[in-house]
Amino acid sequence: MNKLLNSNFINLLPIMKKILVLIFIFLTGCGGKENIELEDSVFVDKGISVYQDNNPNNDVMMQAFWWDSFSDSKISNNASYYEFVSSQLITLSNAHIDLLWLPPSSEGEGMGYHPRKLFDFNSLHGSKLELEELLELIKSRKMHAMADLVFNHRVGTSTWTDFTEPAWSCESICINDEGFTNPDAFGTEPCGATDEGEGWGGARDLNHKSVEVQEGLKDYLLRLKDLGFDSWRYDFAKGFPAKYIGEYNQSTPYYYSVGEYWDGNVNALKSWIDETTATTSNQTTKKSAAFDFALKYKLKEALIDKNFQVLNENHALANFDGYGSESITFLDNHDTGCINRPECDNLYSKNISEINNGYAYLLTHPGIPMIWIYHYLFSDSTGALKKNIEELIEIRKNKGIHANSSVEVIETVNGSDGYYVAKIDDNLLVKIGNGNYQADEQWSVLKSESGYTIWSK
């Protein structure tokens, strides 16, 4: 708790400093215009968001990390990653962020995507105590914390296959895993069922048919709940059948669940979502959402390649009735954004204007939009992108745009002078692109930037 108090005190230092400056200006009689400009720049804690309603359909989500964020020099003063996020929490709450996706919290290799000791919550991101303090802060702002669940695979503690915390038998590992087939493998030979999904060569693929594995992962979810998490993000969802997502979701109450089913085919995403509604015993449970990779790739074609016509098609999950609530829309994440990952090809854009236009689309359209914290805090050193994202969130919240909002595409024109124009809920009119489009007199400009304009009735 001392670290929590210290973190809160650190958060207040910039405010205290600016208050002292204001007092000095007042006492020394400086001019009014300068006082107003400084007063406008003072950071103010706005308290719990006025839009907080505990309904995920109205949420804006943020992925609150990037690759190797735990060791990035942007996290200064020897703070852990957890302490860094704690120091940013009031800013994120002020921006009306509802749901924070945090990195894998168990001890493991690097970022935690090769988990080793599932029940040990001291990791390179910080200590268990720091994690608990962060989760307590998130809860105090009536925000939600999403745990990253790496359920497809694990690594051994001292050999390829010796699992500890919890200890599992050879049956927990698929018989066709590299731990059995690779001549360099050492340790207990896997003896579980054949892998039911895509394999992952960097770690041991788990046998989800095993009662030992199922019960262990359900126990893990309960431990995460006790820490303060209430939402789930399933990593590498192609690695095991969707019925296990349904099984694990049903085992523990949660706020929101989403899977990384990395596929650019919107129909494949729909099928996977539908399959998450059944457990291993064919009981019916609530759908899991999916990250809308199909939309991500279409936005690249439209906003970067200027092929705006692709947005006329059923290009997004949220275009289909009943899937808006299960669609997480995004531009980039820790995998695709290529921060601290030289082997990675950027799949959206490094151009600030194009990133800005992408968020203009996401934050005015259905689905649950996800902002990447690296874009928000670091991509634009001028702060303009951060400010625009905050203004777009405010527009979304104020105008009641939500996961299941309706979209009517008005017009698309391809080319560098082209554009995409759509009406959202008969409430907003959005033009994205450099081309000239004149809205009729019933619409008034709400926000206008170089690459987009938003009108309101």
| Residue 130 lies inside a defined structural domain of this protein | yes
pLDDT surpassing 90 at residue 27:
no
Place 411 in a pLDDT band, splitting at 50, 70 and 90.
very high
- If phi over 0 gives left and psi between -120 and 50 gives alpha, with beta otherwise, what is residue 371? beta
| Residue 305 lies inside a defined structural domain of this protein | yes
Q: How many structural domains is the chain composed of?
A: 1
Domain range enclosing 353 = 50-404
Contact 88, 377 (CB under 8 A): yes
User: Span 266-289, mean pLDDT?
Assistant: 98
| Residue 44 lies inside a defined structural domain of this protein | no
Nearest to 256 by CA among 224, 274, 275, 231: 231
pLDDT tens sequence across 428-456? 999 999 999 999 999 999 999 999 999 99
Residue 42: the pLDDT is 82
pLDDT tens sequence across 359-401? 999 999 999 999 999 999 999 999 999 999 999 999 999 999 9
Tokens of 237: 């969802």
pLDDT tens sequence across 209-223? 999 999 999 999 999
pLDDT surpassing 90 at residue 252:
yes
Which uninterrupted H or E stretch holds 107? strand 107-109
| Residue 169 lies inside a defined structural domain of this protein | yes
Place 77 in a pLDDT band, splitting at 50, 70 and 90.
confident
Task: With 0.85 as the threshold, say if the pTM is over it.
Answer: yes
Average pLDDT, the chain: 92
Contact 309, 277 (CB under 8 A): no
pLDDT tens sequence across 92-119? 999 999 999 999 999 999 999 999 999 9
Q: What are the angstrom distances between the C-alpha of 216 and each of 166, 239, 333? A: 7, 18, 29
Proportion of the chain above pLDDT 90, given as a percent: 88
Residue 41: the pLDDT is 61
Place 43 in a pLDDT band, splitting at 50, 70 and 90.
confident
pLDDT surpassing 70 at residue 21:
no
| Residue 233 lies inside a defined structural domain of this protein | yes
Q: What is the CATH number of the domain that holds 104?
A: 3.20.20.80
Tokens of 64: 């609150």
| Residue 445 lies inside a defined structural domain of this protein | no
- The residue whose two tokens read 């703070």 is 79
| Residue 271 lies inside a defined structural domain of this protein | yes
User: Span 280-296, mean pLDDT?
Assistant: 98
Residue 18: the pLDDT is 39
pLDDT surpassing 60 at residue 23:
no
| Residue 102 lies inside a defined structural domain of this protein | yes
